[in-house]
Amino acid sequence: MVQIKSVGVIGAGQMGTGIAHVVALGGYDVLLHDVSAERLDAGMGLIVRNMTRQVTRGIITQEAMDAGIARIKPAPELQTIGATDLAIEAATENEELKKAIFKALAPHMSDSILLASNTSSISITRLAAATDRPDRFIGLHFMNPAPLMKLVEIIRGIATGPETYETAVQFAQSLGKTTANAEDFPAFIVNRVLVPMINEAIYTLYEGVGTVEAIDTAMKLGANHPMGPLELGDFIGLDTVLSIMNVLYEGLADSKYRPCPLLVKYVEAGWLGRKAGRGFYDYRGEVPVPTR
């Protein structure tokens, strides 16, 4: 099996920075890439802030943080990722964008590199088929936020080789994560169950069954969920929720996965949740306020 020592992470957004954070604390050298220099700088700063918070809470030591930060290097040029042992794509949940990233990386990849996507819903088989090494391609779906969540879904495409799978499992477990194997069907396990629940909560709001506050309170206290479904949708990003629902709807051809029209409207308005300042809650003040 390939011995992983260095990891390239493509995408310096919420997921990419979280993965880089976890991988560096796991003892691996990390190259973090983004097409935007501003996002790359912001991502490096976010990692420092999040690790500092972990030190303050006693989750990691200052020494562990210092060593982790020292292992992460910004990589403005995509081609440098090709020299790592494992490249993890963590770009926006858009199939064509993800395929384009792997095609752009292809001329610069070493023969031994393993490829992984952090996609939360898109077919690993299709993504792998867009590369020259589908046998060395796998899904590594870290949960959000990656530094806190214990699970990594491992998804094999139809062509994924057994060595690639075993290496991926060992790698994820070396980070202190628990792995769950998922078959390559739309949205895998977690989002196949979770995102339709969020969509149904939006339908419940859309149909006037309850207010934003009532729905979230009911699910937190009635189902013992740590976060209400509408608040969770805002945290994930409503554009991501819509993208996953569309993958489910198109991939399984079942009307129960139809995205709620109100979800579509919020995304069209640019009200994408926390990252945009507004979603089902308005986050621009000191305390989030429901927008409906």
| Preceding omega of 145 cis (within 30 degrees of 0) | yes
CA distance 90 to 11: 5
Longest dimension (CA), the chain: 56
In the set 191, 199, 231, 243, the catalytic residue is 191
Give the Cα-Cα-Cα angle 187, 32, 19 (nearest 5 degrees).
40
Q: Is 120 a catalytic residue?
A: yes
Phi (first) and psi of residue 115, to 5 degrees: -115, 140
Q: Three-state SS for 182? A: strand
In the set 118, 120, 144, 199, the catalytic residue is 120
In the set 118, 141, 144, 231, the catalytic residue is 141
Q: Is 93 a catalytic residue?
A: no
Match 């976010």 to its residue by tokens.
46
CA distance 284 to 270: 14
Which sign, positive or negative, has the C-alpha torsion 288, 289, 290, 292?
Answer: negative
CA distance 30 to 255: 42
Instruction: Identify the CA nearest to 16 among candidates 52, 51, 40.
Output: 40
First CA to last CA across the chain, in angstroms?
53
In the set 153, 199, 231, 243, the catalytic residue is 153
Q: Is 153 a catalytic residue?
A: yes
Q: Is 141 a catalytic residue?
A: yes
CA distance 23 to 19: 6
- The one-character DSSP state at 90 is -
Query: Which residues are marked as active site?
Result: 120, 141, 153, 191
